[in-house]
């Protein structure tokens, strides 16, 4: 597997990342995105001028931790409505193509 580090060409990077994100891009889209990506990443790289060695990351602005609830089973009245959204179904099952082997 090729590492992102090895890629120099932004078109290659866009293609590789699109595969990770499971999005099929057209050739035109890759052509369009590559320079935009480069410009945006270049802008974001300005963060490297900041020294953050001793700074803690902020994951959660509200500082809640381990919000738990009691494990009390409840009836789900909505399951038929959920099933009705399946693009392809067989009874109560959602139908999908086989996973790649």
User: Which residues make up the interface to other proteins (CB under 8 A)?
Assistant: 3-5, 13-14, 17-26, 29, 32-33, 36-37, 39-41, 43-44, 46-48, 50, 52, 55-62, 64, 67, 69, 78-79, 81-82, 84-88, 94, 96-100
- Of 5 and 8, the one with the shorter C-beta distance to other proteins is 5
Instruction: Let me know: does 41 contact 17? Beta carbons within 8 Å.
Output: no
Least distance from other proteins to the Cβ atom of residue 22, Å: 4
CA distance between the termini of the chain? 18
Q: Which residues share a beta bridge with 90?
A: 93
């Amino acid at each position: 597997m090729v590492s992102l580090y090895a890629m120099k060409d932004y078109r290659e990077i866009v293609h590789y990342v699109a595969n990770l994100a499971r999005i099929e891009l057209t050739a035109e889209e890759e052509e369009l995105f590559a320079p935009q990506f480069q410009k945006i990443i270049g802008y974001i790289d300005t963060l490297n001028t900041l020294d953050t060695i001793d700074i803690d990351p902020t994951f959660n602005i509200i500082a809640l931790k381990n919000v738990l609830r009691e494990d009390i089973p409840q009836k789900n009245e909505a399951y038929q409505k959920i099933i009705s959204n399946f693009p392809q179904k067989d009874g109560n099952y959602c139908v999908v193509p086989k996973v790649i082997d």
